[in-house]
Amino acid sequence: MCLISDLHKVPLDATMIIINNNNHGVIPNDLSKYKNLQKLSIFKNKCFMDLSYLLLPDTLKKLYIYDNPNLSVLPKLPDGLKSFTCTNNNIAELNGLPDGLETLICPDSSMSYLPKKLPSKLITLTCHNNYIAKLPDELPNTLKILYCGMNRITSLPKLPDGLEYFDCEHNCIQSLPDILPSKLIEFRCNHNCIQKLPKMLPSTLTRIYCNHNYIQVLPTLPISLTDLRCEDNVLLLLGKLPPNIKRVDCDRNSIFRLPMIPDNIEWFYCEKNEITHIPYWPPTLAFDEYISDTPIYELLQDIIKDVPNERDVFNTNPQKYNTYNTNDDDESDYDSTPDYDTTHKLHRALTIVNNIRKIYYRMKCKKRLLRFYFKVNQKRIEEKYKPENLEKILSQNEDMDEDEFDTILANW
């Protein structure tokens, strides 16, 4: 780092110069004399407004101009420049980008549009938090990383097939291209107006973030997917989850039924839904932490609170108790008030609920259930309680004593 007044002290063979926090004076226009200069940083200089006079050496590969709030005009960029960072300035437009540029980072500026033709060798483009309403119709085929979130974009052009990371969060996008790039690894489209995802998702996709949209149905998820974030949509179903999925967040939807959840999943958030059916819940997941505020969770809580105290159960069967505490005399390690609101208890209760859910949905079918049982067993019940049936039972053993008679009568 150096002061502007000290630039004359910088060796002419310097490969890097950093000019920052210089709020007085101007940069000399003869930076081209540094024939080996490869990296130049100009940041946090409030007095700079126009750098068009600045002559940069052809050897420059990386240029960083950021946090200069008054800067509105850039210098001419050398043809050999590979990476250009232009952040938090007052730049309205980017013109004269060298065709060999590979990295362009220009967020937090005042730009309302990008150049119609971007450098043909561009690999990384970051332009989030601007006022851009439209991306160029043709994006470079070399592009692998595109971050254009927090703008005013309403539609997307055809995306390069080699794109691997795409972030278009916090825009006004209503629809996505029918086909996403075949090599896409991470896709973020949170906080838009999207109603559906493409029917076919790339087989390379590992992360999808589509929170805060209007998506009703998810397409078939690729087997490579490990992270799915789809909270705050209008989903009714999730669909089949890939076997390698590690994290799912589907809070605040209208989901009423969950799919089979893989055992190796690490996070599964599904709060504030309409869930009444869960075919399977991995015992390793904390049930109450991830699925609270749903109908089935409320029902499970009613079941769990009626589970008897384990100490009382064990005390009625000392032999069984000793299998848990081999030291008959010392019970100090035994927790007399264990926490029963555990994953294991909830998982067992969940299994019970799912086994009876079709005939006993949420405690509303008691009368209907009793009528059903009676109708199914009506013939057997009526036959059992006929006087002739009791006489037949008694006649089978004429030598019974009083206790046996009482037992037969009680069972009848």
The first and second tokens of residue 305, run together, are: 């609170």
CB 280 within 8 A of CB 262: no
- Contact of 20 with 45, CB cutoff 8 Å: yes
Tens digits of residue pLDDT in 132-179: 999 999 999 999 999 999 999 999 999 999 999 999 999 999 999 999
- The lowest-confidence range among 25-34, 231-240, 293-302 is 293-302
Span 223-242, average pLDDT: 96
pLDDT over 70 at 277, yes or no? yes
Q: Which residues touch 8 (CB under 8 Å, ≥6 apart)?
A: none
Residue 98's closest CA among 112, 114, 116, 84?
84
Name the band, by pLDDT with cuts 50, 70 and 90, for residue 339. very low
Q: Do residues 228 and 221 make contact, with C-beta atoms less than 8 angstroms apart?
A: yes
E strand map for 2-78: 16-20, 39-43, 62-66
Domain with CATH 3.80.10.10 in the chain: 174-274
Mean pLDDT to the nearest integer, 379-402:
66
Q: The tokens of 58 are what?
A: 């052809």
In 3D space, the residue among 57, 23, 12, 25 whose CA is nearest the CA of residue 38 turns out to be 57
pLDDT at 231 over 80: yes
Residue 334: which pLDDT band, with cuts at 50, 70 and 90?
very low
Amino acid 11: pLDDT: 86
359 or 138: whose pLDDT is higher?
138
Asked if pLDDT for residue 109 goes beyond 80, the answer is yes
- Over the Cα atoms of the chain, what is R_g? 35
Note every long-range contact of 70-77, with CB atoms under 8 Å and residues 24 or more positions apart, other chains counting: 70/46, 71/45, 73/49, 75/51, 76/52, 77/101
Q: Which two tokens stand for residue 218?
A: 């998810």
**Beta carbons within 8 Å of 180's beta carbon, 6+ residues apart:** 159, 166, 187, 198, 201, 202, 205
Are 41 and 57 within 8 A, CB to CB?
no
Q: Is the pLDDT of residue 361 over 60?
A: no
> Taking residues 98-116, what's their average pLDDT?
94
Q: What is the mean pLDDT of residues 63-85?
A: 92
> In whole angstroms, what is the distance from residue 299 CA to residue 220 CA?
31
Q: Which fold has domain 174-274?
A: 3.80.10
The residue that leads in pLDDT, 353 or 76, is: 76
pLDDT at 13 over 60: yes
Task: Copy the structure tokens of residue 54.
Answer: 């600045």
pLDDT of residue 31: 84
Q: What is the mean pLDDT of residues 384-397?
A: 66
